[in-house]
Amino acid sequence: MDMEIIHSSRPAIAILVSLIAAFLILLTGERARNLREFWTILASVVKFSVVLSMVPFILEGKVIEYNILSISPGLSVQLKVDALGIIFGLTASFLWIITSFYSIGYVRSLKEHAQTRYFVCFAVALSATIGVAFSANMFTTFLFYEIITVCTFPLVAHKETPEAIRGARKYLTYLLGTSIAFQLLAVFMTYHVAGTLDFRYEGLLNGTRGSATDMILIIIFILYMAGITKAAMMPLHGWLPAAMVAPTPVSALLHAVAVVKTGVFVVVKVVLHIFGINLLTQLGLGTALAYFASFTIIVASVIALTQDNLKRRLAYSTISQLSYVILGVALLTPSGITGSIMHITLHAFGKITLFFTAGAIYVATHKTNVSELDGIGRQMPFTMLAFTLGALSMIGIPPLGGFISKWYLSLGAIEAKQLPILIVLAASTILNACYFMPIVYAAFFREPAPDPHHHGNPGKKIHEAPALMVVPLVLTATAALVLFFWPTFFLEIAGIALQNVTGGH
Amino acid sequence: MEFIISKYNYWMYIVLMMIGFYAMIAKKNLVKKLLGLNIFQWAIILFYVSIGVKKGGATIPIIAGGHGEMVHAVSAAQYLNPLPHVLMLTAIVVGVSTTGVALALIILIYRRFGTVEEDEILEALK
Amino acid sequence: MMTEHLPAIIIVFPLIMAFLINVAGWWSKKPCFYMALLAVTVSFLASLGILNTVLQSGTISYRFGGWEPPWGIEYLIDHLNAFMLVIVSGITLVTVLYSKKSIEQELPQKVPQFYTLFTLLMMGLLGITITGDAFNLYVLLEIASITGYALIGLGDEKAPLASFNYLIIGTIGACFYLLGVGYLYIMTGTLNMADLAQRLPALYSSNAIMAAFAFFMVGIAIKMAFFPLHVWLPDAYSHAPSTVSAYVASTMTKVGAYVMIRIMFTVFEPSFSIQLHPVTAIFGWVAAAAMMYGCILAVAQNDLKRMLCYIIIAEVGYIVLGVSVANRMGFTGAVLHILNDAFMMACLFMVVGAVYYKTGAKTIVDYRGMFRKMPFTSASFAIGALSVIGVPPTCGFFSKWYLVLGAIDARQWFFAAALLLSSLLSAVVFFRILQHMFFVPVESAHKHGNDEAAGLKRDEAPASMLIPIFITVAGILLLGAFSGRIISTVIQFTVPEGF
Mutate to test the interface with A, among C340, C401, C440 (most CBs of A within 10 A): C401
Nearest to A93 by CA among A35, A15, A199: A15
C339-364 per-position pLDDT tens digit: 999 999 999 999 999 998 888 888 88
CB contact under 8 A, A188 and C393: no
C5-23 per-position pLDDT tens digit: 888 888 889 999 989 988 8
* C139 contacts in chain B (CB < 8 Å): 90-91, 94
CB contact under 8 A, C161 and B87: no
> What average pLDDT does this structure show over C397-411?
88
Mutate to test the interface with C, among A78, A184, A189 (most CBs of C within 10 A): A184
DSSP state, C133? B
- Can you say how many angstroms the Cα of residue C446 is from the centroid of all Cα atoms in its chain? 43
Tell me which chain A residue has its CA closest to the CA of residue C492.
Answer: A72
Question: Rounded CA gap, B57 and A302, in Å?
Answer: 99
- Among the partner residues B90, B118, B125, nearest to C139 by beta-carbon distance: B90
DSSP state, C450? S
Instruction: Return the higher-pLDDT residue of C3 and A384.
Output: A384
Tell me which chain C residue has its CA closest to the CA of residue B91.
Answer: C139
Query: Domain boundaries in chain B?
Result: 2-125
* C427 contacts in chain A (CB < 8 Å): 176-177, 180
Question: Rounded CA gap, A2 and A36, in Å?
Answer: 46
Element at A141 (helix H, strand E): helix A138-156
- Judged by a CB distance cut-off of 8 A, whether residue C430 touches chain A is no
pLDDT at A379: 84
pLDDT at C63: 81
Question: Which segment of A139-153, C38-52, C445-459 scores lowest on mean pLDDT?
Answer: C445-459
Chain A: touching chains (3 or more CB pairs < 8 Å): C
> B117: helix, coil or strand?
strand
CB contact under 8 A, A160 and C488: no
Question: Rounded CA gap, C111 and C117, in Å?
Answer: 10
- Among the partner residues A70, A154, A177, nearest to C424 by beta-carbon distance: A177
pLDDT at B63: 60
- Among the partner residues A159, A169, A192, nearest to C405 by beta-carbon distance: A192
CB contact under 8 A, B44 and C182: yes
- Burial A271-307, CB ≥16 within 10 A → b, else e: bbbbbbbbbbeebebbbbbbebbbebbbbbbbbbeeb
CB contact under 8 A, A185 and C420: yes
* pLDDT of residue C36 exceeding 80: yes
Tell me which chain A residue has its CA closest to the CA of residue C392.
Answer: A143
Residue count of chain B = 126
Question: Rounded CA gap, C364 and C277, in Å?
Answer: 44
Which residues does residue A135 pair with via DSSP β-bridges, in sequence order?
A79
- Among the partner residues C146, C161, C171, nearest to B121 by beta-carbon distance: C161
- Judged by a CB distance cut-off of 8 A, whether residue C428 touches chain B is no
Nearest to C314 by CA among C234, C205, C381: C234
End-to-end CA distance of chain A: give it in Å, rounded: 11
> C68: helix, coil or strand?
coil
* C146 contacts in chain B (CB < 8 Å): 94, 97-98, 101
Tell me which chain C residue has its CA closest to the CA of residue B21.
Answer: C172
Alpha-carbon distances, residue A72 vs A204, C308, C328, C476, C489 (angstroms): 19, 30, 14, 17, 12
CB contact under 8 A, C408 and A188: yes
pLDDT at B117: 87
CB contact under 8 A, C161 and B41: no
Alpha-carbon distances, residue A149 vs A121, A123, A314, C436 (angstroms): 11, 13, 21, 18
CB contact under 8 A, C431 and A172: yes
Chain B: touching chains (3 or more CB pairs < 8 Å): C
Tell me which chain A residue has its CA closest to the CA of residue C487.
Answer: A72
- Judged by a CB distance cut-off of 8 A, whether residue C189 touches chain A is no
CB contact under 8 A, A181 and C420: yes
CB contact under 8 A, B87 and C135: yes
* A147 contacts in chain C (CB < 8 Å): 392-393
Secondary structure percentages of chain C, helix, strand, coil, to 5: 80, 0, 15
* A75-81 vs A5-7, strand pairing mode: unpaired
Q: Say if CB C444 and CB C456 are below 8 A apart.
A: no
Q: What is the DSSP string of A292-344?
A: HHHHHHHHHHHHHHH--BHHHHHHHHHHHHHHHHHHHHHT-SHHHHHHHHHHH
CB contact under 8 A, C160 and B105: yes
CA angle C54, C56, C59 (to 5 degrees): 35
* Cβ contacts of A419-428, under 8 Å, gap ≥ 24: A420/A291, A420/A294, A421/A290, A421/A291, A421/A294, A421/A327, A421/A331, A424/A294, A424/A297, A424/A298, A424/A327, A427/A298, A428/A297, A428/A298, A428/A301, A428/A320
CB contact under 8 A, B44 and C149: no
CATH fold of B2-125? Helix Hairpins (1.10.287)
Which residues does residue A79 pair with via DSSP β-bridges, in sequence order?
A66, A135
- Among the partner residues C389, C442, C483, nearest to A161 by beta-carbon distance: C442
Q: Say if CB B48 and CB B88 are below 8 A apart.
A: yes
Mutate to test the interface with C, among B101, B107, B115, B119 (most CBs of C within 10 A): B101
Question: Rounded CA gap, B45 and B36, in Å?
Answer: 14
Percent of chain C with pLDDT over 90: 32
- Judged by a CB distance cut-off of 8 A, whether residue C231 touches chain B is no
Question: Rounded CA gap, C407 and C329, in Å?
Answer: 8
- Judged by a CB distance cut-off of 8 A, whether residue C185 touches chain B is yes
Question: Which segment of A46-55, C187-196, C212-221 scores lowest on mean pLDDT?
Answer: C187-196
Question: Rounded CA gap, C122 and C115, in Å?
Answer: 10
- Among the partner residues C386, C417, C484, nearest to A71 by beta-carbon distance: C484
Question: Rounded CA gap, A202 and A273, in Å?
Answer: 6
Rg (C-alpha) for chain A, rounded Å, is: 22
Question: Rounded CA gap, A107 and A84, in Å?
Answer: 33
- Split at pLDDT 50, 70, 90, the class of B75 is low
Instruction: Return the higher-pLDDT residue of C373 and A427.
Output: A427
Question: Rounded CA gap, C445 and C373, in Å?
Answer: 13
CB contact under 8 A, B98 and C150: no
**Residue C55 to chain A, least CA–CA distance (Å):** 19
> A399: helix, coil or strand?
coil
* A63-72 vs C60-63, strand pairing mode: unpaired
- Among the partner residues C404, C427, C441, nearest to A176 by beta-carbon distance: C427
Question: Rounded CA gap, C370 and C356, in Å?
Answer: 11
Q: Position C67: which residue type?
A: W
Instruction: Return the higher-pLDDT residue of B9 and C51.
Output: C51
* A77 contacts in chain C (CB < 8 Å): 393
CB contact under 8 A, B33 and C168: yes
* pLDDT of residue C26 exceeding 80: yes
* pLDDT of residue C232 exceeding 50: yes
* pLDDT of residue C474 exceeding 50: yes
- Split at pLDDT 50, 70, 90, the class of B73 is low
Instruction: Return the higher-pLDDT residue of A228 and C326.
Output: A228
pLDDT at B50: 83
- Judged by a CB distance cut-off of 8 A, whether residue C393 touches chain A is yes
Q: Position A346: which residue type?
A: L
Count Cα neighbours of C388 within 13 Å in the Cβ-side half-sphere. Answer: 36
Question: Rounded CA gap, A464 and A472, in Å?
Answer: 13
* B83 contacts in chain C (CB < 8 Å): 185
* A172 contacts in chain C (CB < 8 Å): 431
Q: Position A389: which residue type?
A: L
* A165 contacts in chain C (CB < 8 Å): 435, 439, 441
* pLDDT of residue C448 exceeding 50: no
* pLDDT of residue C449 exceeding 50: no
**Residue C2 to chain B, least CA–CA distance (Å):** 29
Rounded mean pLDDT of chain C? 86
C93-145 per-position pLDDT tens digit: 999 999 888 888 888 888 888 899 999 999 999 999 988 888 889 999 999 99
Question: Which segment of A63-72, A226-235, B2-11, B12-21 scores lowest on mean pLDDT?
Answer: B2-11
* C386 contacts in chain A (CB < 8 Å): 150
* C405 contacts in chain A (CB < 8 Å): 188, 191-192
Tell me which chain C residue has its CA closest to the CA of residue A144.
Answer: C392
Element at A99 (helix H, strand E): helix A83-110
pLDDT at C203: 81
pLDDT at B57: 66
C373 phi and psi, to 5 degrees?
Answer: -75, -50
For chain A, 505 residues long, give each residue's pLDDT as a single digit of tens: 456 888 888 888 989 998 899 888 888 877 788 888 888 889 999 999 999 999 888 888 888 888 887 777 777 888 999 888 999 999 999 988 888 888 888 888 887 777 888 888 889 999 999 999 999 999 999 989 989 998 888 888 888 888 888 888 888 889 988 988 899 889 988 988 888 888 888 888 888 887 888 888 899 999 999 999 888 888 888 888 888 888 888 888 777 788 899 999 999 999 989 998 888 888 888 888 999 899 999 999 999 998 888 888 989 999 999 999 999 999 888 899 999 999 998 888 888 999 889 888 888 888 888 888 888 888 888 888 899 999 999 888 888 888 888 999 999 999 888 888 999 999 999 999 998 888 888 888 887 776 555 554 555 577 787 888 888 888 889 988 888 888 888 888 888 888 888 875 4
Question: Rounded CA gap, A212 and C411, in Å?
Answer: 13
B26-70 per-position pLDDT tens digit: 888 889 999 999 999 989 888 888 887 777 666 666 665 555 555
Interface confidence, given as ipTM, is 0.88
* C171 contacts in chain B (CB < 8 Å): 37, 40-41, 98
* pLDDT of residue C473 exceeding 90: yes
- Among the partner residues B87, B94, B121, nearest to C142 by beta-carbon distance: B94
